[in-house]
Amino acid sequence: MSRQLNMDTLRQNFWKEEYLREKMLRCEWHHKYGSLVKAKQKAKAAARLPLKLPTLASKAPLSPQPVPTAVPSKTPSPVPEAFQSEMYPVPPATRALLYEGISHDLKGRYHYLNTRKLDLPETRYLLPITTNFTYGWQLGA
């Protein structure tokens, strides 16, 4: 919408009067309702603050907990340290697929994941993690 450039004195006075009337209405509204709005804003802000509970003075000071002197020994796990994961380590040839190209070109991570998906669960996992693994591993046999 373009601005009208053919403003005569009559139209200019109309817009000037309209602007002043709107300005006066805003001032009157602020004078009439401004304090109420401020009070509501303060009440809402106070309602949003977390409730603070009074602190109670303790009757007797707490004694410090004794520090345990003996550290419990680590129980040996049946799985060697190298296999703390649920899965066997990835073969180096398969891991190298991650660094060849990008997924957008169906290489890199995309090719790596598809290759890992083709491996049998027995070759990927050390132990069956869920009971479904047990059933699935027995289906092929």
Report pLDDT digits (tens) over 34-92. 888 889 988 888 888 887 777 777 666 666 666 666 655 555 555 555 547 788 899 99
Q: What is the model's pTM?
A: 0.38
Give the model's confidence band at 111: pLDDT under 50 very low, under 70 low, under 90 confident, else very high.
Answer: very high
CA–CA separation, 63 and 124 (whole Å)? 53
Contacts of 9 (CB under 8 A, 6+ apart): none
Residue 69 lies in a domain: no
Overall average pLDDT of the 109-122 stretch? 89
Which residue has 């403003």 as its token pair? 7
Lowest mean pLDDT segment, chosen from 12-16, 39-43, 137-141: 137-141
pLDDT, tens digit (0-9, with 9 covering 90-100), for 31-44: 998 888 889 988 88
Residue 32 lies in a domain: yes
Residue 34 lies in a domain: yes
Contact 91, 123 (CB under 8 A): no
| Count of CA atoms in the C-beta half-sphere (13 A) of 121 | 15
Residue 88 lies in a domain: no
Give the model's confidence band at 20: pLDDT under 50 very low, under 70 low, under 90 confident, else very high.
Answer: very high
Share of the chain above pLDDT 70, in %: 74
Residue 87 lies in a domain: no
Number of domains in the chain: 2
Q: Which domain holds residue 112?
A: 93-126+136-141
Residue 39 lies in a domain: yes
Contact 121, 137 (CB under 8 A): yes
Contact 108, 97 (CB under 8 A): yes
Residue 33 lies in a domain: yes
Give the model's pLDDT for residue 60: 64
Residue 84 lies in a domain: no
